[in-house]
């Protein structure tokens, strides 16, 4: 089931974690690789995805964070 443009979930693929449509590549993996310093080009080459796939991952992550509530306890 597509949960966002370019991102889907299926309980039989990666334990229901969000993945790039048509792949078994989890969103969290791509975010982690970019955060670790890999360039878009390196990620594209390593995982055989497109720049549009990376943009879908980043857009999905931004939307998830937008809805996150953080409560500060002092």
CATH number at residue 62: 1.10.10.10
| 73 occurs within a structural domain | no
Q: How far is CA 73 from CA 28, 53, 57, 70, in A?
A: 28, 37, 31, 10
Confidence of residue 74 (pLDDT cuts 50, 70, 90): confident
> Which range of residues forms the domain containing residue 56?
2-66
**Is 67's pLDDT higher than 90?**
no
Tokens of 58: 């980043």
Tens digit of each residue's pLDDT (9 = 90 or more) over 35-46: 999 999 999 999
Q: What's the predicted TM-score (pTM) here?
A: 0.89
Cα separation, 27 vs 25, whole angstroms: 7
Number of domains, the chain = 1
Q: Is the dihedral of CA 18, 19, 22, 24 positive or negative?
A: negative
- The percent of residues above 70 in pLDDT, for the chain, comes to 100
Q: Which helix (H) or strand (E) element contains residue 60? A: helix 51-66
| 72 occurs within a structural domain | no
């Amino acid at each position: 089931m597509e949960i966002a443009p370019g991102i889907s979930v299926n309980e039989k693929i990666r334990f229901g974690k969000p993945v790039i449509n048509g792949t078994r590549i989890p969103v969290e993996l791509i975010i982690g690789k970019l955060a670790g310093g890999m360039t878009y080009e390196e990620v594209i080459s390593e995982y055989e995805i497109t720049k549009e796939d990376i943009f879908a991952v980043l857009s999905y992550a931004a939307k998830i964070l937008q809805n996150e509530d953080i409560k500060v306890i002092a």
